[in-house]
């Protein structure tokens, strides 16, 4: 059986948040005062969910949070996930999204355990600005060391996620272009979405795909790279062939029609969209002793009703029932 929703989209991409704790308090994500809000499950519970979902056609699993590297035992968890097999006998692709603060030490063990790819979030490439955004002093050097250790471990290409806010860090665009070329990483700019704790989002604050391309092109000409149908990022290479950037533009160029994702929150709720206004309590069913068959039935029914699209910027937009850090980005 494969997971398909009522709009004919095939679902093969799973994100699991393994904690909603975070050691950074990025100004566009957190209030700075709120902490963790939801429970964490033992890894064996996420593993059971992942096993059932891989049996239903999931081929890619991304671990996220909160900050996933705060969870002890993540290396063993990756190694257990790496033993799962898709219907055609392959290991699922395993990826990680992290702020990179604790990555330097653990990049090689994660790679050895079966991690395929890592995405590191960085919203500035100068140490002072980085500290202002994360509200943690001296993080930049640790994150840079994490990026370099990941490349060295063969987690290639390392991707860097950067969220731009007008008037705050959009002057970093060209610096990120240089960073992509010098550090041999793929920098991906993500348009800011209304998923923050502080509700500061306005359409004006979003730095759009068109603006990013235009600014970057003043530095060096860009050539668009053909992208897969289900790929969320528009990809560009610099015209001299050195360095790649991508732009994920859910606000100005939504890609809901190609969405192939579902999410599990740290407390075991199934979410079918970042902007869902409710979630589905998979863990409660497990806790009550449901068999794999019952869980499968539940998942199939929930996924069928996946939302058609988000409504960012439309009149009457209803905010998601959780903010990004408590969903898993
Ligand atoms: N702690 C990990 C990290 O920093 O990558 C994983 C969780 S974090 C919530 C995942 C990603 O979501 C980060 O790249 C972050 O910049 C991004 N993010 C957070 N809030 C966002 C928002 N409102 N719009 C777009 N991206 C957001």
pLDDT by residue, tens only, the chain of 329 residues: 899 999 999 999 999 999 999 999 999 999 878 788 999 999 999 999 999 999 999 999 999 999 999 999 999 999 999 999 999 999 999 999 999 999 999 999 999 999 999 999 999 999 999 999 999 999 999 999 999 999 999 998 999 999 999 999 999 999 999 999 999 999 999 999 999 988 889 999 999 999 999 999 999 999 999 987 777 899 999 999 999 999 999 999 999 999 999 999 999 999 999 999 999 999 999 999 999 999 999 999 999 999 999 999 999 899 999 999 999 98
Closest CA to ligand 1's atom 25:
192
Task: Give 92's DSSP letter.
Answer: P
Neighbours of 257 (CB within 10 A): 12
Strand order in the sheet with 244-248: 222-225, 233-238, 244-248, 186-190, 159-163, 117-121, 93-98, 60-64, 13-17, 261-264, 269-271, 280-281
Which residue has its alpha carbon closest to ligand 1 atom 8?
Answer: 329
Mutate to test the pocket of ligand 1, among 26, 324, 325 (most ligand atoms within 8 A of CB): 324
Cα-based distances in Å from 317 to 255, 277, 314: 18, 11, 6
Q: Whose CA is nearest to atom 4 of ligand 1?
A: 99
For 91, what's the count of Cα atoms within 13 Å in the CB-facing half-sphere?
Answer: 13
pTM over 0.85: yes
Can you tell me the distance from the alpha carbon of 267 to that of 45, in angstroms, rounded to the nearest whole number? 10
């Amino acid at each position: 059986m494969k997971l398909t929703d009522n709009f004919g989209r095939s679902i093969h991409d799973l994100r699991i948040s393994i904690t909603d704790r975070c050691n950074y308090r990025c100004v566009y994500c957190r209030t700075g005062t709120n902490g963790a809000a939801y429970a964490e499950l033992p890894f064996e519970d996420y593993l059971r969910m992942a096993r059932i979902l891989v049996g239903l056609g999931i081929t890619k699993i991304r671990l996220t949070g909160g900050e996933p590297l705060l969870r002890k035992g993540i290396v063993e968890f990756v190694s257990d996930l790496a033993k799962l097999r898709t219907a055609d006998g392959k290991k699922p692709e395993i990826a990680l999204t992290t702020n990179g603060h604790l990555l330097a030490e653990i990049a090689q063990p994660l790679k050895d355990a079966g991690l395929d790819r890592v995405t590191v979030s960085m919203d500035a490439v100068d140490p002072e600005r980085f500290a202002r955004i994360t509200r943690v002093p001296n993080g930049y050097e640790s994150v840079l060391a994490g990026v370099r250790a990941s490349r060295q471990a063969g987690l290639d290409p390392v991707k860097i996620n950067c969220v731009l806010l007008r008037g705050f860090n959009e002057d970093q665009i060209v610096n990120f272009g240089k960073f992509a070329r010098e550090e041999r990483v793929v920098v991906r700019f993500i348009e800011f979405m209304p998923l923050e704790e502080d509700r500061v989002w306005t359409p004006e604050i979003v730095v759009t795909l068109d603006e990013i391309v235009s600014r970057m092109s003043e530095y060096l000409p860009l050539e668009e790279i053909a992208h897969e149908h289900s790929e969320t990022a528009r990809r560009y290479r610099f015209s001299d062939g050195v360095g790649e950037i991508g732009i994920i533009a859910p606000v100005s160029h939504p890609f809901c029609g190609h969405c192939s994702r579902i999410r599990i929150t740290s407390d075991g709720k199934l979410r079918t969209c970042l902007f869902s206004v409710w979630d589905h309590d998979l863990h409660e069913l497990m806790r009550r002793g449901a068999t794999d068959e019952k869980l499968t039935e539940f998942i199939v029914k929930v996924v069928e009703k996946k939302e058609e699209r988000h409504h960012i910027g439309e009149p009457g937009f209803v905010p998601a029932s959780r903010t990004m850090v408590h969903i898993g980005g």
